[in-house]
Chains A and B, each alone.
Chain A
Amino acid sequence: MGTPAIELKNITKTFGPIVANKDVCLTVNKGEILSILGENGSGKTTLMNMISGIYFPDHGQIFINGEEVLIRSPKDAFKYKIGMIHQHFKLVDVFSATENIVLGLKDDGKYNLKASEKKIREITAQYGFELEPSKKIHEMSVSEKQTVEIIKVLYRGADILILDEPTAVLTPQETKKLFAVLRKMRDSGKAIIIITHKLHEVLSLSDRVSVLRKGEYIGTVNTAETSESELTEMMVGKKIELNIERTKVEETPDRLEIRKISCVNREGITLLNNISFTAKAGEILGIAGIAGSGQRELLESIAGLQKLNSGEILYHNPTTGYTENLRDKSPVKIKELGVRLSFVPEDRLGMGLVGNMDIIDNMLLRSYRRGKSAFLERKKPKDLANKIIEELEVVTPSAKTPVRRLSGGNVQKVLVGREIASSPTVLMVAYPVRGLDINSSYLIYNLLNKQKENGVAVIFVGEDLDVLIELCDRIMVINSGKITGIVDAENTTKEEIGLLMTKNDGGESHE
């Protein structure tokens, strides 16, 4: 292997009490592609942001070409020929590709678009990009915009390129093209770091893989000498005992039946691909998957917030015995059908609650329509608010405190408390313990278990595999909007789920 282009030694970065990176060591050689692999929240992006000058490490050293350097700003990073391509593009829509690429450059006051365009054409020809430099950004596809971002850093002479989940927004064909370009850049001696959590991409593209888990550096392996299962184990770690009680489910009726639902967004990207499953009453169905695999769209389509292109959402009503199709019905319509559906969305303050309203008014969100009067009835919501504060031990000055002033755990208690207060038959929760301390987390787990015992069909979208395995009865794994497997939580392992989460588009058997 070549000489090291960049070396990190014992890099540590903390944000308040949270350790984002702990003693991370990494080396990238010239002429190689290094993948950084890790689950959500494992500290990949934080680490790269320190190399590109957005954050400054608390401890540790960075060496470039063998010399220790301090990178305090993106400008410093550029000086050391480091270029980062972010997940979210930073381009001016009404400018052309060329204008965006030269934007901010100080060419001794010269502004010669013709010359710049010529240089851009040289770069595109050299690496095999497909780009028309005079095209405006707003006329471009996502992949073209990404190309502009990459050329932007190459134009500035970057020798070390960092790409943050570059394939997340690309179609498989575009991904192939990107990889071809990246290989060419590697062959011309550039050092390339790509952040990803797609195992098959790691294996097909990179020379070496470094794995991070919960902010810690786990190790680096040569791609040629590793396998998917080894990488998965490095990524998810050994099983941890959490001691969440799991009550046995008896044979219970089907409550919600999802039949072949698909959903394509306006850009033509498939969000949900032929998903079919059944949620039973008195059971917790876990949903595992890398963030953005379609979890949100799935829950929102059940809740009546997401239009579907095909499929059916069938609800078996236990009181009437009828079956209703909930597809494309509004939340109000669903409620009118007598479907008691509760939903704890991922975005608590932006969707589940209104941050500037107090706890009482947030209780009203679900019940304000009650009664024929044109005026609000605040007595019952007030009682409910006080009941939730007392029973769930919400720490708040009073029921009249705006919820945005509460801590994350207490906000979640208010939201979950409200959602289970309507005694639902289906309860959907998305990342209910994200950002919560251990005690609040267990309180939420117990609440969910209690709902399950009461015969509620609980759908739990989670990210911590240990929790999913201990809490849920069955776990459904999705990847890129497709089900890659439904496993029995008692007889599964983290490795199995991890593999399913990162499985290559091999879901044909489910179609």
Chain B
Amino acid sequence: MSKSASKSHEPLFHVVKRASIPLWQSLLIRAGAILAALIVAGLLTFFLTGLNPIDVYATMIDGAIGTEKRIWNLFQGIALLLCVSLAVTPAFKMKFWNIGAEGQALMGGLAAALCMILYSDKLSPAVLMLVMVVTSVVSGAVWALIPAIFKAKWNTNETLFTLMMNYIATQLVSYFSYKYSVPKGSGSIGIINSSTKIGWFPSILDQKYLLNIIIVVILTFILYVYLKHSKHGYEISVVGESENTAKYIGINVKKVIIRTMILSGAICGIAGLIMVAGTDHTIATDTVGGRGFTAIMVSWLAKFNPIMMFLTSFLIVFLEKGAIAISSEFDLNSSFSDIITGIIIFFIIGSEFFINYSIKFRESKKEAKSK
């Protein structure tokens, strides 16, 4: 029992937070992560299925961008995911953990669908479209506003609150699916106005998804400017970074929370509108399809930068489409494509750790000195 015994408490290595990292180094780490992920996933493919990993990857790329139609589908998928990601970003930047984008988008979609069902023969198509836009935006915003008010007034936990709002939205959609089901009692609405196409987004240049994509591109730039160059965006950053500082300079934190959540919900409403009027032309409980949750990952990986979010949503949708192609092409269970997607995303998220932290090994010199 001597003093040196106590000194050997120091572990073999410890993790140190990086002050900063040059851009090339962070890109290198990310590229390395993707490479490592492809190798691991390739090895796994080989040992589990006996297939040639190169073939598998080729199929994946082909499945995502092999034909013109597939490219359009890819960008349509990106647009939908990106739209929901844009919606959650202001809230997350404010450190308001809105995991209710799923429900907010669903409510927006439900509003659009109900308008299409109820008012197709009462309103002119142009007016109907306007009503759909307004009701979708308002429904999404209200769904986000309710937890925001509770958070601002009584400091309730927004994570649980927004999550539970998702279930209510799902139940509401089930109810209306039953009420307006075609044929009666089937529990699903089916394609609304399939012959008249009233309330459908128009095709542009013969492309049915082009309008969706254009809307999301415009939204991306608007949100980028809003967050980076507007006074509101600045207030969001300050509230998110430090509520104390916000109070110190006289920002009304409650007002910012409520305002930002209305915005977040409204964009979710637009996402819902695009899903119903621009894509599915129907509503079901799985219309949003988990994008409300995937969006959280897209937003975080891009560090809340809307332009970068295009890249992260591209990556995720690309993997998804590619994975579907693998499972059908090689007759693999669809879970296998989930495994590959999971491995790649795991590595990418894991690489963030090495970007933020470096690992320092114990110096052997120091130990010699202490003895």
Contact = CB atoms under 8 A, between A and B. Distances in A.
Nearest to B238: A354
Interface string B310-338: 00000000000000000000000000000
Given A351-B242, A364-B234, A376-B229, A72 B6 contact: yes
B249 interface: yes
A72 B225 CA distance: 55
B184 interface: no
Contact of A350 (B9, B242, B250): B242
B245 A335 contact: no
B241 interface: yes
Interface stretch (A186-194, A252-260, A365-373): A365-373
Contacts of B242: 350-351, 354-355
B250 A405 contact: no
A350 B245 contact: yes
Given A70-B1, A330-B250, A351-B245, A368 B232 contact: no
Nearest to A401: B20
A343 B247 CA distance: 13
A352 B244 CA distance: 8
Q: Which of A70, A364, A375 has the most CB of B within 10 A?
A: A375
A374 B231 contact: yes
A507 to B, nearest CB: 30
A374 B230 contact: yes
8 contacts: A56-B6, A345-B248, A351-B248, A354-B237, A365-B249, A366-B249, A369-B231, A376-B229
A376 B244 contact: no
A364 B231 CA distance: 10
Contacts of A376: 229-231, 233-234
A357 interface: yes
Interface string B163-184: 0000000000000000000000
A56 to B, nearest CB: 6
Contacts of A356: 241
Contacts of A335: 250
A350 B243 CA distance: 9
A366 B246 CA distance: 11
A331 B249 contact: yes
Given A72-B9, A351-B242, A376-B234, 5 more contacts: A72-B6, A354-B241, A354-B245, A357-B241, A373-B231
Contacts of B118: none
Contacts of B244: 347, 350-351
Interface in B1-28: 1, 3, 6, 9, 19-20
Interface residues of B, number: 24
A452 B227 CA distance: 40
Contacts of A366: 249
Interface string B254-265: 000000000000
A357 B240 CA distance: 11
B355 to A, nearest CB: 15
Contacts of A355: 241-242
Contact of B20 (A347, A361, A405): A405
Contacts of A350: 242, 244-245
Contacts of A374: 230-232
Nearest to B241: A354
A403 to B, nearest CB: 11
Interface of A: 56, 70, 72, 303-305, 330-332, 335, 343, 345, 347, 350-357, 361, 364-366, 368-369, 373-376, 405
A377 to B, nearest CB: 9
9 smallest A-B Cβ distances: which pairs?
Answer: A331-B250, A332-B250, A351-B244, A354-B241, A365-B249, A351-B248, A375-B229, A72-B6, A375-B230
Nearest to A331: B250
A52 to B, nearest CB: 16
Given A70-B1, A354-B238, A405-B19, A375 B245 contact: no
Interface in B248-284: 248-250, 252
Contacts of A70: 1, 3, 6
A120 to B, nearest CB: 34
Contacts of A56: 6
Contacts of A368: 231, 234
A303 B249 CA distance: 10
A350 B245 CA distance: 6
A375 B227 CA distance: 10
Nearest to B7: A56
Contacts of B241: 354-357
Contacts of B249: 331, 365-366
A374 B231 CA distance: 6
A194 B245 CA distance: 36
A330 to B, nearest CB: 6
A161 to B, nearest CB: 25
B237 A357 contact: yes
A369 B251 CA distance: 10
Contacts of B238: 354, 365
Contacts of B3: 70
A218 B249 CA distance: 44
B229 A304 contact: no
Contacts of B230: 374-376
B6 A305 contact: no
Nearest to A70: B1
B237 to A, nearest CB: 7
Interface in B284-319: none
A305 B248 contact: yes
Nearest to A68: B1
A422 to B, nearest CB: 12
B245 A353 contact: yes
A321 to B, nearest CB: 25
Contact of A352 (B229, B233, B248): B248
Contacts of B237: 354, 357, 361
A355 B242 CA distance: 9
B244 to A, nearest CB: 4
A351 B9 CA distance: 36
Contacts of B248: 303, 305, 331, 343, 345, 351-352
A364 B242 CA distance: 15
B239 to A, nearest CB: 10
A488 to B, nearest CB: 32
Contacts of B247: 305, 331
Contacts of B231: 368-369, 373-376
A330 B20 CA distance: 37
Nearest to A334: B250
B250 A352 contact: no
B235 to A, nearest CB: 8
A375 B6 CA distance: 58
Contacts of B250: 304, 330-332, 335
Nearest to B235: A368
A483 to B, nearest CB: 25
A304 B225 CA distance: 32
| Residue among A343, A365, A366, A405 with the highest chain B CB neighbour number at 10 A | A365
A56 B234 CA distance: 45
